[in-house]
Amino acid sequence: MRPPRSLLARRAFCLAGLSWLAGAGAHAHPEGLSLLRSGSHVLLMRHALAPGVGDPPGYDLTRCETQRNLDAQGRQQAQRIGQWLRSQGLDHAHVYSSPWCRCRDTAAQLGLGPVTVEPALASFFDQPDQSAAQTRRLQAFVAQSLRQGKTPLVLVTHHVNIRDFMGQNIGSGDMVLARVNAQGQMRDYRIYPSP
């Protein structure tokens, strides 16, 4: 016996609602990571697992031993992410990193090409009043980089930078495929959880 028509309609409405919730803020891109070659998308990534919060007092960006760093699990996670990206067809990219060692190490473990340190990706965790200015620097960097060609752009940075850029916190090693406008401002995005 078929359920009453009103029950079928309610089920369809609930399924549509669940689909919308699953994709809210993550506007699906059926083309996936191939969009990185479109000249309008960038992949932002939070560094892999680094136990703790912030950095020890008096840390020095030129000395990794003074900073919070990736542990063995974080290094393995970064390698898995690189393997996953290659399995998705992303075998090389322009890879940029925050100056922090945990970001540089994550970027290097991806195996997508040489890593360039970029100040626009630097954390402002210790200086929250710099968030708007640093986000503007990031947007300008993204816009300039995308104008220079269609090689995929991968940016390894911190949760505060990604949160201010796209409006949402993500976990360690998670990635955001962001569609941006000509000024480098995020238009919509899809989150890829760390594999």
Q: Which of these ranges, 3-17, 96-110, 112-126, has the smallest mean pLDDT?
A: 3-17
DSSP label at residue 112? S
Rounded to an integer, the average pLDDT of 117-122 is 98
What's the confidence (pLDDT) of residue 69? 97
- Residue at 14 is within a domain: no
- Tokens 């996953």 sit on residue: 84
- Residue at 136 is within a domain: yes
Q: What is the tens place of the pLDDT at every residue in 140-186?
A: 999 999 998 889 999 999 999 999 999 999 999 999 999 999 999 99
What's the confidence (pLDDT) of residue 31? 72
Residue 11 pLDDT class (50, 70, 90 cuts):
very low
Amino acid, single-letter form, for residue 56:
P
Q: What is the mean pLDDT of the chain?
A: 88
**14 pLDDT exceeds 80?**
no
- Residue at 13 is within a domain: no
- Residue at 6 is within a domain: no
Strands (E), 74-173: 94-97, 115-117, 153-157
Number of separate domains in the chain: 1
- Residue at 137 is within a domain: yes
Amino acid, single-letter form, for residue 92:
H
What's the confidence (pLDDT) of residue 5? 45
- Residue at 15 is within a domain: no
What does pTM read for this prediction? 0.84
- Residue at 153 is within a domain: yes
Consecutive H or E run containing 122: none
Q: What CATH number is associated with residue 77?
A: 3.40.50.1240
Give the 3-state secondary structure of 160-172. Answer: HHHHHHHCCCCCC
CA distance 178 to 135: 14
Q: What is the tens place of the pLDDT at every residue in 87-104?
A: 999 999 999 999 999 999
Q: Which range marks the domain in which residue 142 is found?
A: 30-52+61-192
Residue 28 pLDDT class (50, 70, 90 cuts):
very low
